[in-house]
Copies of this chain bind each other. A is one copy, B any other.
Amino acid sequence: MLMNMSSPTRTLAPHPDRLLPPDPQVRAVARTIYEAVRELPIISPHGHVHPRMLLDDEPFGDPTALLITPDHYVTRLLHASGVPLEELGVGQGALDESAARVAWRHLCSHWQVFAGTPVRYWLEQELAEIFDVDVQPSADTADDVYDRVAARLAQPQFRPRALFDRFGIEVLATTDDPVDDLAAHAKIAADESFRGRVLPTFRPDRHLEVAAPGWRAAADALADASGCSTDTYAGWVAAMENRRAHFAAHGGVSTDHSHIDVGSDVLDPADAERIYAAARAGTVDAAQGVALRRHMFTEMARMATEDGLTMTVHPASRRNHDRPTFERFGADQGHDIPVRVDFTDPLRPLLERYGNHPNLTLVLFTLDETSFSRELAPLAGYYPSVYVGQPWWFLDAPDAIRRWRSAITDTVGFSRTSGFIDDTRAFCSIPARHDMSRRLDAGHLAGLVADHRLDLDEATEIAVDTVAGLPRRVFGL
């Protein structure tokens, strides 16, 4: 761990040209492109902000509860640096001020550990632009910065809805279980005092893993929510269709799928029924569970051709890699670790059936960069239904996004990509993340202008379309 205890206090002032290309001529071009998109509204069609936050509009708690404890992007690198998760508030319930300050000091005294990472880049922009902090966090400044953020959080203009407006968010999608009644979404939509669109996303993962612990209870809950008996395979499928319709009726525009692979082999109906019956009976084995999940993945595509919900796919993360920590603190604590993934052969059964269907939209994300040029761009460059998702999670970072544009653009240009997806649970990071993407796209497009592959006018049109057009088309907004 690096110590910078003796270093002088450093100012915090995000540079107006940050992330734009360093060559002066290219930077000037990038700046022009960036200016055209800088102030456009934010469309966030996939993420993990909780709808109750915007429904209740309660003031945020302390700085730690807002910026550290719930954000595994922040806690994971502190954990790697030797800070116990419990000292960051993980699994501790609400912290008292003293404990919150301890966690905050951990973050600030480890500031240099985050040097070069997007987490620090976002936090710096959040602190400076939202909370008017003008010094770099450090062991010395930790309490001052805490005080300044805490003071802001007590003011009404720092409540969730006020920030939502200030951030310029036009649409924000949440991620929800199929059994969710979506009451929060309905109330937000009915509240005329709030103009933001907050949309649910149908995420059926746990319902589709019939050999996993807890599945039986999930199927029962699905029956309750849908009014369709899930005693039979046909009823279970009908229950899914019912809940998708419920989501669509509440403004939902997409479903999200995050399994370890994207296999899509279709079962004979009799086999699907047989495996389903075994699942209900508690006698299903792991291989059967995989087979039914892959079959249902294609079923989800079939349903999408009927109800028009866009499918987003986020595969190949080994969830909860550190089992002892999972058992102690639960999921989403920063130790989901990517594994290799293939798309070409596993997706073929689905795409043979529905790949050319005019009503299907399939956005493919990956944590395995090798897919970019080898599989995702070739698939999206042929199938009208397929779009390449923006870099996600570990790849949602300046250099990774640059590599992605480089790997994708050669084959599919810009029109076959999803537009930026923040996929975050860190509400205050949303503007910084979208702004980062706009800067990087401006830089990439300026590079094409410098290469004389595009002229500035067209590059600017593409930048605007990437922010304002693509996400609307891809997500049917």
Size of A's binding interface in residues, CB under 8 A:
98
A115 located at the interface, meaning its Cβ lies under 8 Å from any Cβ of chain B in the complex: yes
A380 located at the interface, meaning its Cβ lies under 8 Å from any Cβ of chain B in the complex: yes
Residue in A321, A339, A375, A382 with the greatest tally of chain B CB atoms within 10 Å:
A382
A412 located at the interface, meaning its Cβ lies under 8 Å from any Cβ of chain B in the complex: yes
> Please, which residue of chain B has its CB at the minimum distance from the CB of A339?
B344
In the bound assembly, the distance between CA atoms of A358 and B380 in angstroms comes to: 43
Q: Please indicate the chain B residues that have their CB under 8 angstroms from the CB of A1 in the complex.
A: 415
CB pair B342–A339 under 8 Å, yes or no, is yes
A368 located at the interface, meaning its Cβ lies under 8 Å from any Cβ of chain B in the complex: yes
Q: Which one of B81, B338, B345, B374 lies within 8 Å of A369 (CB-CB)? A: B374
CB pair B381–A80 under 8 Å, yes or no, is yes
A41 located at the interface, meaning its Cβ lies under 8 Å from any Cβ of chain B in the complex: no
A231 located at the interface, meaning its Cβ lies under 8 Å from any Cβ of chain B in the complex: no
A40 located at the interface, meaning its Cβ lies under 8 Å from any Cβ of chain B in the complex: no
The digit string for A95-118, where 1 denotes a CB below 8 A from any CB of B, is: 000000000000000001111111
CB pair B373–A395 under 8 Å, yes or no, is yes
A166 located at the interface, meaning its Cβ lies under 8 Å from any Cβ of chain B in the complex: no
Chain B proximity of A313: nearest CB distance (Å): 16
A-B contact pairs, 23 of them (CB 8 A): A7-B457, A15-B452, A18-B453, A76-B381, A76-B382, A79-B382, A112-B413, A113-B415, A115-B414, A116-B413, A117-B413, A318-B348, A321-B351, A324-B352, A334-B382, A335-B382, A338-B374, A340-B374, A378-B394, A394-B411, A397-B411, A398-B451, A399-B406
Query: Which residues in A have some Cβ–Cβ distance to B below 8 Å?
Result: 1-2, 4, 7, 10, 14-15, 17-19, 22-26, 76-77, 79-82, 112-118, 120-121, 318, 321-325, 334-335, 337-340, 342, 344-345, 348, 351-352, 355-356, 358, 367-370, 373-375, 377-384, 386, 394-395, 397-400, 403, 406-407, 409-416, 447-448, 450-455, 457-458, 461-462, 465, 469
